[in-house]
Amino acid sequence: MTDSPDLAPNTPVQPVAAPSVAPAGVTVVDHPLVQHKLTLMREHDTSTASFRRLLREISLLLAYEVTRTLPMTTKRISTPLTEMDAPTIEGKKLALISILRAGNGLMDGILDLIPAARVGFVGLYRDPETLQPVQYYFKVPGQLEDRISIVVDPMLATGNSSAAAVDLLKQAGARDIRFLCLLAAPEGIRRMQEAHPDVPIITAAIDSHLNDHGYIVPGLGDAGDRMFGTK
């Protein structure tokens, strides 16, 4: 799912800062590089090529935060000088789950950091009248009950699609799920936390609100269209 403002490109919108304190269960990644790249992505005249590159770069930075609490263990290794007990990630390979289509834009950067991750896809589109998600595709790795699942979608707008995707993953056995996005609206955060209070949310920014069409304001436009050069 993606976010597309209903305002004309030149319509002025007052800048909105993220809340000084994020809600419990939500992490706002305020690293200077993340915020700088996000600003470049928000600008309406950023080219498709630049938008795609920035999305890959910022997703790698966000992946650092979403993996901060991975369980660790040690294993015996041999360095060129001696043997040692060295830290290593514990458990099965992570599951990286993209909410199609815009979620795919976050995949490459994360896979650069976690190349061994297993990959799955949830296909949902938002009914323009009801704003409710409609499923059209679902393909995920096996043994989700033994994996940490990271769900990615650039926009957490109404939260309906994100909550539906997590519903499907839980039905498939997932127990440890984390949600990663670029932008979140307060309404989307509220919806996700009502439906799945056990799922932490990691985002680069919390924007002001949703407009009457359910789109994030000020937002950054339709992430899928800007990434793929479509309308």
Residue positions forming the annotated binding site for 5-phospho-alpha-D-ribose 1-diphosphate: 101, 126, 153-161, 222
Omega within 30 of 0 (cis) for the link into 101: yes
Local structure of residue 146 (DSSP, 8 states): G
Binding residues: 101, 126, 153-161, 216, 221-223
Active site residue 76: no
Torsion sign over Cα 161, 58, 41, 105? negative
Interhelix angle 32-42/48-66, nearest 10 degrees: 150
Catalytic residue among 27, 53, 108, 126: 126
Binding residues for uracil: 216, 221-223
Active site residue 126: yes
Catalytic residue among 130, 175, 190, 198: 130
Q: How far is CA 63 from CA 21, 34, 93, 106, 149, in A?
A: 21, 11, 15, 9, 12
Catalytic residue among 108, 146, 167, 225: 225
Active site residue 39: no
Separation between Cα atoms, residue 30 and residue 93, nearest integer Å: 28
Separation between Cα atoms, residue 113 and residue 177, nearest integer Å: 19
Torsion sign over Cα 168, 105, 204, 226? negative
The single-letter code of the amino acid at 9 is P
Active site residue 207: no
Total length of the chain: 231
Separation between Cα atoms, residue 41 and residue 16, nearest integer Å: 15
Separation between Cα atoms, residue 4 and residue 2, nearest integer Å: 7
Residues annotated as catalytic are 126, 130, 222, 225
